[in-house]
Amino acid sequence: MSVSPDQPAHLPDFRRPPELGGTGRDLVWFIHDHDLEHELRYRPDPDSPNTHGFIEPAFPMTLQVYQKALENSQGRWQKLF
């Protein structure tokens, strides 16, 4: 899953809502990496480590297990806007 680390200003303009200076209509959510399920980890994008990253499997797993881990983390995501 693609994410923008540290601050919503790293989101592309079309993903940032007007409240954050963008044009997007999507909600913005955040989670702290220590609140991720043990099956998940945050990895900075090697091409843009300060502005982009991934929430990915912490170890090899099936797509179904990965999706379930994302689903299980849902209660710890907080809506920003």
pLDDT in tens, 18-54: 998 999 998 899 999 899 999 999 999 999 999 999 9
Domain ranges of the chain: 2-79
Amino acid 18: pLDDT: 93
Q: Taking a C-beta distance cutoff of 8 angstroms, is the pair 53, 6 a contact?
A: no
Q: Is 63 exposed, middle or buried (0-12, 13-18, 19+ CB in 10 A)?
A: exposed
| Distance in angstroms (rounded) separating the CA atoms of residues 58 and 42 | 8
> Is this prediction's pTM over 0.85?
no
Q: Taking a C-beta distance cutoff of 8 angstroms, is the pair 45, 53 a contact?
A: yes
| Mean pLDDT of all residues belonging to the chain | 93
